[in-house]
Amino acid sequence: MRFDEAARERVLVVDGAIGTRLRALGWDERLPALANVEEPQLVHKVHAEYVEAGADIIETNTYGISRFRLPHREPAYDVAEIVREGARLAKDVADGAFVLGAIGPVGKPLVPMGMLEAEEADKEFDIQVKALLDVGVDGIILETFADLNELEIAVAAVRRHSNLPIIASKAFIEDGQTLAEGYPMRVARRIREMGADVVGANCVVGPQRMYDVVRWMAQAGDFPILAMPTPGLPQTVGKEVLYDTTPEYFARAAARLVDA
């Protein structure tokens, strides 16, 4: 069964953060995707932990990797190879879980807000998509996109090469009034028009705000919705990112999201 078919039949549980878990295991402050080639055993461990915990979906450790995000001091890494290694590591431990290739914004704002042309962003997405397909994944998740125009470019890059299921997820950074005016519903409709199979929201601060976003999205049509809220406001303690909440609270909030 394809991932998108399963998503229509039942609630699927996605894994949690990779970068913060890697840092807790000893990875430094650099781009987490670099661990795919420098400390692959750490990435392997994180994926295995989520599978053991019962995740139905694990994401490749490839979010945010692009030539724009690689610091100049880094060796001349091949972005495509980093992505391929990320996909291999996830597939190695999937054990029946769906493996989604994770792609995020390229790291520079597009015109007119920034200087990056759409064609350059498309090239970056193209590299990542082809690398993920080389290894073989069950679908693509495009996540934490604040700019819907950039998200549309990413969806088109996936569709150019594959008919795999796509999750397209927006980071809702807008204020509460904007959200209350039905903006998430309009976002969901536009994302579906782009060609995404699953519409999502992530990096929303707290389950309550995510609940409001999901309720609006559900009014846009009959399609699966992804909800990936943070537990709340993060605090950095040593190398760990901690939240002032409990797993039990988050579990109750997740159940409420299902009912939204």
Q: Per-residue pLDDT tens for 242-257?
A: 677 788 888 898 899 9
Average pLDDT score over residue span 234-247: 71
Interacting residues of 199 by C-beta distance below 8 A, sequence separation 6+: 167, 168, 169, 187, 188, 191, 192, 217, 220, 223, 224, 225, 226
Average pLDDT score over residue span 64-86: 85
Interacting residues of 179 by C-beta distance below 8 A, sequence separation 6+: 172, 209, 212, 213, 216
Q: Contact 114/108 with Cβ under 8 angstroms?
A: yes
What stretch of H or E contains 73? Answer: none
> How many C-beta atoms lie closer than 10 Å to residue 170's C-beta?
28
In the prediction, which pLDDT does 173 show? 77
3-state percent helix, strand, coil for the chain, nearest multiple of 5: 45, 20, 35
Helix (H, G, I), strand (E, B) or coil at 174: coil
Calculated CA dihedral for residues 24, 27, 32, 34, nearest 10 degrees: -160
Domain span holding position 253: 3-259
What's the pLDDT band for 75 if we cut at 50, 70, 90? low
pLDDT at 240 > cutoff 70: no
Average pLDDT score over residue span 222-238: 82
Mean pLDDT taken over the chain: 92
Whose structure tokens read 């995740």? 55
Distinct helix (H) and strand (E) counts, the chain: 11, 8
Counted domains in the chain: 1
In the prediction, which pLDDT does 130 show? 99
In the prediction, which pLDDT does 181 show? 72
pLDDT at 239 > cutoff 70: no
Q: What CATH number should be reported for the domain holding residue 27? A: 3.20.20.330
What stretch of H or E contains 98? Answer: strand 98-103
What's the pLDDT band for 92 if we cut at 50, 70, 90? very high
Helix (H, G, I), strand (E, B) or coil at 33: helix
